[in-house]
Structure 1
Amino acid sequence: MKAGKILGAAAIVAGSAAAACAATCAALAPRRGNPVLDQQWREIARYRYAHRGLHGEGAPENSVAAFLRARDHGFGVELDVHLTADGELAVIHDSEIERMCGYAGVAEEMTMAELRECRLAGTDEQIPTFDEALAVYECDPTGETELPAPVIVELKTRGKNAAALCEKAMACLDNHLVRYCVESFDPRVLVWLRRHRPEVMRGQLAQNFLEEDWRPFHQRIGGTVLLGNAATRPDFVAYRFCDREGAPVRISCGLLGAHLVEWTICSAEDLARCEAEGAVPIFEGFLPA
């Protein structure tokens, strides 16, 4: 009798655990089953993506020169978009512009005209507008020339500007004939896209944040294990390459079937590993064969 009760209790515990696991998987599952988006992903997955453009001597990161160089080599690009103080869109990686421009300033606190006066890394290259960056990858409407590779657009939020940034960026993308997807570290961007532009392929950027001390601990945990997926339902997860073997990637992209992008690939050997794992690579610092 006692053994039967023990077995019954064990069955209840096991069943509860299985139910909890199933509920968790259902909550964190990516968006699936859209044939149009599936075709878009197949096109995106055909290419390699130059991180901030194919930058190097004379072509700073996130410059028109770097984007042209990437396009001419047949690569897509991953680029970064910020909303300026006057509601324009600037392409630069950091909000703080000092690293690239040599003096202090914050992109979101400057006008586009002020940012255009800056020069990148001591060259004559300006901080591009989003329009200028997209123009590099514009498709020929006649279909007479080969299609450029797609663009991975990272939306960089600051403070409470997520909705305004999304609205402005999508309006700009609507004015260009480009193939693209959108990603962000900020789940608010993906939630906005899910609600307002469900036809756009969206991706959650992530990494292992646990060793960083500038974020609140709950944000480091949530960002690392992709808890935001419950609200965002991303089509793909863009995870840092050196963190890719952790449980979040195995569960989200292995068990649950999200597409995987890996960043930043810095050698031919890592590129081979990335592609052998079926991931889309974002590379930097070398020229793939």
Structure 2
Amino acid sequence: MTQNHEKTFNGRAGWIAERPIAHRGLHDKSRGIFENTLGAARQAVEHGFGIEVDLHVSSDAVPMVFHDDTLERLTDQSGSIRERSSEELGRISIGGTADNVPTLRQLLDLVGGKVPLVLEMKGIKGKDAGFVAAIGKVLAGYHGPVALMSFDHWLVEDAHHLLPDIPLGLTAEGDDSHFEEHEKIARACAIDFVSYGISDLPCRFVREFRERGLPVITWTIRNRDDMAKSARYADQITFEGFDPK
């Protein structure tokens, strides 16, 4: 099931609403397929879903596909991901499987433009110098649909200035008390789309953003009730743990 697949959007990111987006890839821990791995990305491609993944940067300035700031939750290693080189990270097993921490380049090579990619930049304030530029170098020459987004306003601002040709989104949450905060960054950085927490919908910011003809995706949808809620208040889902088709 794809929400509003016939709706026409303003701007350059309408494609983001064309199909459901697999949150951190199409992962299934019970089958040994972990989040943010090439295995999860491969499954999403095979099922025709878009892919959302998270990006950090290694100690040698290589964008890596990984969610957490530290390694403990998904590996048998500890410490900050940013204190390891891309070569070191590429040898670390995820969940004891054959999958390791992949680079953004490896992900792009696997996907090859076959499905949309939504890349969430995970920032650490004061430590992100060069992060967005490094992402831009890897994305140069990639021809598939791809967009960047972040909760972190400094990364959104960097992407707006450094990578103006790449569609840019704001990841956000919160009730109407956050309207001015979200609206300020969205307008200042000419945001192309919004990714909003489903638990905070409906809200004024999302309603007015959609009234401008721009797409909104939701996170994280884990059941059909939330999928139906998303269909009422947004344009597409970022999902995990069930089949939305």
The correspondence for 1:46, drawn from 10, 18, 40, is 18
Q: Which residue in 1 is equivalent to 2:220?
A: 264
Counterpart-to-counterpart distance in 2, 1:272 and 1:209: 20
Counterpart-to-counterpart distance in 2, 1:247 and 1:223: 10
Counterpart-to-counterpart distance in 1, 2:129 and 2:19: 30
Residue 227 of structure 1 aligns to a residue whose secondary structure is helix
The correspondence for 1:240, drawn from 181, 186, 197, is 197
Q: Which residue in 2 is equivalent to 1:282?
A: 238
Q: Could you tell me how far 1:193 is from its partner in structure 2?
A: 2.6
* Overall identity of the aligned pairs, in %: 28
Q: Could you tell me how far 1:161 is from its partner in structure 2?
A: 4.0
Counterpart-to-counterpart distance in 2, 1:173 and 1:257: 27
Residue 248 of structure 1 aligns to a residue whose secondary structure is helix
Q: Which residue in 1 is equivalent to 2:146?
A: 180
Whether contact under 8 Å (1:207, 1:224) holds in the other structure is: no
More helix by share: 1
- Tell whether 2:134 aligns with 1:160: no
The correspondence for 2:110, drawn from 133, 136, 143, is 136
Whether contact under 8 Å (1:190, 1:232) holds in the other structure is: yes
Q: Which residue in 1 is equivalent to 2:3?
A: none
The correspondence for 1:73, drawn from 47, 51, 66, is 47
Unaligned 5+ residue runs, structure 2? 1-7
- Tell whether 2:183 aligns with 1:249: no
Q: Could you tell me how far 1:98 is from its partner in structure 2?
A: 0.6
* Map 1:209-224 → 2, pairs under 5 A: none
Q: Could you tell me how far 1:114 is from its partner in structure 2?
A: 1.9
Change in Cα spacing, 1:161 to 1:178, as seen in structure 2 (3 Å) is farther
Whether contact under 8 Å (1:108, 1:158) holds in the other structure is: no
Residue 229 of structure 1 aligns to a residue whose secondary structure is helix
One-letter code of the match for 1:126?
N
Counterpart-to-counterpart distance in 2, 1:125 and 1:163: 29
Query: What number of residue pairs does the alignment pair up?
Result: 236
Counterpart-to-counterpart distance in 1, 2:190 and 2:110: 30
- Residue range with higher mean Cα deviation, 229-238 or 65-74: 229-238
Counterpart-to-counterpart distance in 1, 2:141 and 2:191: 24
TM-score, length-scaled by structure 1: 0.74
Q: Which residue in 2 is equivalent to 1:145?
A: none
One-letter code of the match for 2:102?
P
Q: Could you tell me how far 1:41 is from its partner in structure 2?
A: 2.5
Counterpart-to-counterpart distance in 2, 1:36 and 1:251: 14
Counterpart-to-counterpart distance in 2, 1:36 and 1:288: 22
One-letter code of the match for 1:194?
H
Counterpart-to-counterpart distance in 1, 2:32 and 2:233: 34
Q: Could you tell me how far 1:167 is from its partner in structure 2?
A: 0.6
Deviations 1:130-188 (A, max 9, x none): 1111112213xxxxxxxx22100111122334451111101101143321111011122
Whether contact under 8 Å (1:163, 1:189) holds in the other structure is: no
Whether contact under 8 Å (2:196, 2:219) holds in the other structure is: yes
Whether contact under 8 Å (1:261, 1:279) holds in the other structure is: yes
Residue 80 of structure 1 aligns to a residue whose secondary structure is strand
Q: Which residue in 1 is equivalent to 2:89?
A: 115
**RMSD over equivalenced CA pairs, Å:** 2.5
One-letter code of the match for 1:45?
A
Change in Cα spacing, 1:225 to 1:37, as seen in structure 2 (3 Å) is closer
Q: Which residue in 2 is equivalent to 1:17?
A: none
Structure showing greater radius of gyration is 1
TM-score, length-scaled by structure 2: 0.86
